[in-house]
Structure 1
């Protein structure tokens, strides 16, 4: 209803004439994982990414060189049928990233089966969906429950302690998702605990900066707080159970504060070591590990704090290319009156959009940007056109937002735009 397929479809069709053997991640691949590691260490990127002053420039140079090195490999192809239920769609994403021996730094073609849209906008939409699911959870169980790979509060997320997720290598899959999105300049993974990041990138377990907020289990938090204080809990059966489970001595007057920190360490680090190892393996599989090891200033780009990942109105307003006049899409609909009224309509509707952005919540801004460009990241040129139309539409391949000229009330504009941007998680051509 709200998005439209664009001329990107014609471009991709032309490319297909020269790429008749496109493969997906389950097809035969180039170098295996051991060969990929050899490539990482023996043929480092030719760009001067090690000394680039800006870490974002260093990340871009490193990624582009990996793509250049793999330019002769057949593209990866990711297909998701949006006509299927959420469980089937999420299983398709997980299956795509579960395949071993894949060279991830190569051209990617994404396809939403059941939707006519194609092109770079679909790729951005898919990358955004993958990262959104990784943060919010996947529908991969038959009982329709949501499987959360990470748990906890904002800026203190740690890997889930579920043994089933470890057995099914979901954290390796998560690492591949994060690294793959990074390679394509996609969304990052915000809010991971600094203690987990410390261990993930080689810090010693003993010096991990653990805080009480890193523990997602509120019962364990209460025990730690009690042990740190003066409450009489030496005879608590639950405290005894936690100590025995963590192979620690029972509490007494002299060891309780030491025991509090040991229980916290066990809950946050000891119980997630295997998950962190898998997450590191997944990142290494994507080929970006040398960059992260040699340029630690890139790590906050890949794993920003929640507040650093939030969009602000000014971040979007600074990137918008505003229209100066009405855009006439079809000449047969042009009338001389458009010359006079078009400028006024353009100014009025552009003003409505500015008002919407300035008053929007961070969640609204993410939805707007995703509808506009395909993912939640503002581009360097977010174009606006005011046209003869019924509802707002987005041409994600060209990062262009088209707004109808007929709005004379901000309230009506606000209602319609909110309805439109809420559709972006359903696909492009879907209602």
Structure 2
């Protein structure tokens, strides 16, 4: 048991008072996990012998399970592999969040990969696909985000600050939307025509009016140009994703994480890092590796597979290599790519 976990109510509230958002997030996580440690264990079973489509469906089915307290103790089992321990859990969350970030291997219309979030780096917004909105996949996304955070897994990075604002505050009147938040380049180009005072051609007016009318907004005029620009921009990012954002909030609430985000909005940067804050570094790789001897049981092993001196020497060589490797080195990329889930 972690003796650093607060033991009384006054200490439990420390996460609300911590000056640093990172410290507040860590304290909240510890408090919540401590409170739920006696709950029934949540078990995920993934058959890694199956293809990527089957694995994607297994992960989604796991997070669609009803009436689960996602802050409870968690374990994962990989069918088709003998690996055990926390490395399996790390692999599971790395695989889950990788698919959430870059797409699930399930068919959606003409695409072979289904993206729940679209757009450019640091401006990702939920997909406006009606099929996805109807499938509860954004509730699943919220549960994945919260569950991975609580278990020290990877984060979803590069989300639009406007969407983060809506997840935390759910306040349309105070949200700031940028043109780069509009994922559809055609729509962005049309809205961009209204920005500034440049003369509009008849063709440009037609394009703007067609978009405005399709969203129940009036046609452009000299008097409403700036207002219409803001309305179209707001609807393109916030209005069209209102339902999806609400579902993500529900998923976050299911994991308990929404409480922290609402009471400590500054922790949103910890839960939803920007792209540049998630770039793989040697320190990030080293901090996620459980080395032989870290758990203090190697010296008590009556019959270790290799002499302890050789293990320590090998670990030293690998640590030195990771510390001096360039970010573009292929092996460093593989270390951070979640496939290294075997312990020791």
Do they fold alike, i.e. is TM over 0.5?
yes
Partner of 1:382: none
Residue 52 of structure 1: CA displacement? Answer: 2.5
Q: Of 163, 166, 179, which residue of structure 1 is paired with 2:133?
A: 166
Deviates more, 1:171-180 or 1:304-313: 304-313
CA RMSD of aligned residues (A): 3.2
| Equivalent residue, structure 1, for 2:3 | none
For 2:159 and 2:333, locate their aligned partners in 1 and report how far apart those are by CA, in whole Å.
19
Report the counterpart of residue 179 of structure 2 in structure 1: 212
C-alpha displacement of 1:71: 2.4
Residues 92-131 of structure 1 correspond to what in structure 2 (within 5 A)?
Answer: 92-131=58-97
Q: Is the 8 A contact 2:21 2:267 kept in 1?
A: yes
Match of 2:166 in 1: 199
For the pair 1:243 / 2:212, whether they are aligned, the reply is yes
Q: Does 1:64 align with 2:30?
A: yes
Partner SS for 1:227: coil
Deviation of the 1:55 alpha carbon: 2.9
- Equivalent residue, structure 2, for 1:369: 336
The answer for unaligned runs of 5 or more in structure 1 is 1-42, 375-394, 401-431
Instruction: Give me the whole-angstrom Cα distance separating, in 2, the residues matched to 1:278 and 1:150.
Output: 13
> In the alignment, which residue of structure 1 is the partner of 2:18?
52
CA contact (8 A) 1:226 1:233 kept: no
CA distance in 2 between counterparts of 1:290 and 1:248 reads 36
- C-alpha distance in structure 2 between counterparts of 1:303 and 1:346, whole Å: 32
Q: Alpha-carbon deviation of 1:259?
A: 1.8
Contact persistence 2:322–2:332 (CA under 8 A):
no
CA shift, 1:101, in A, is 1.4
* Paired position in structure 1 for 2:221: 252
- Does the aligned pair in 1 maintain the 2:168–2:268 contact within 8 Å? no
Matches within 5 A, 1:71-90: 71-90=37-56
Specify the alignment match of 1:284 in structure 2: 253
TM-score, with normalisation over the residues of structure 1? 0.66
Give 1:224 deviation, angstroms. 1.7
> Does the CA-based 8 Å contact 1:152-1:158 persist in structure 2?
yes
**Residues 321-400 of structure 1 correspond to what in structure 2 (within 5 A)?**
330=306, 352-355=321-324, 357=325, 359-361=326-328, 365-370=332-337, 374=341, 395-396=342-343, 400=344
Indicate conservation of the 8 Å contact 1:174/1:279, yes or no: yes
State the distance in 2 between where 1:254 and 1:204 align.
27
Determine if contact 2:47/2:79 at 8 Å carries over to the other structure.
yes
Q: Does 1:134 align with 2:103?
A: no
Taking the aligned partners of 2:41 and 2:291, their CA distance within structure 1 comes to: 36
SS at structure 1 position matched to 2:76: strand
Q: Is the 8 A contact 2:191 2:208 kept in 1?
A: no
Q: Is the contact made by 2:280 and 2:327 (CA closer than 8 Å) also made in structure 1?
A: no
Q: CA deviation at 1:69?
A: 2.3
Q: Take 1:316 and 1:77, find their aligned partners in 2: how far apart are those partners? A: 26
| In 1: Cα distance, 2:150 partner to 2:69 partner | 12
Instruction: Establish whether residue 179 from structure 1 lines up as the match of residue 141 from structure 2.
Output: no
Query: C-alpha offsets along residues 372-423 of structure 1, whole Å, 9 cap, x if unaligned?
Result: 864xxxxxxxxxxxxxxxxxxxx43xxx5xxxxxxxxxxxxxxxxxxxxxxx
Q: Contact 1:63–1:105 at 8 Å: present in 2 too?
A: no
The equivalent residue for 1:406 is none
Alpha-carbon offset, residue 189 of structure 1? 1.2
SS at match of 2:336: helix
Normalised to the residue count of structure 2, the TM-score between the two structures is 0.82
How far did residue 226 of structure 1 move? 1.6
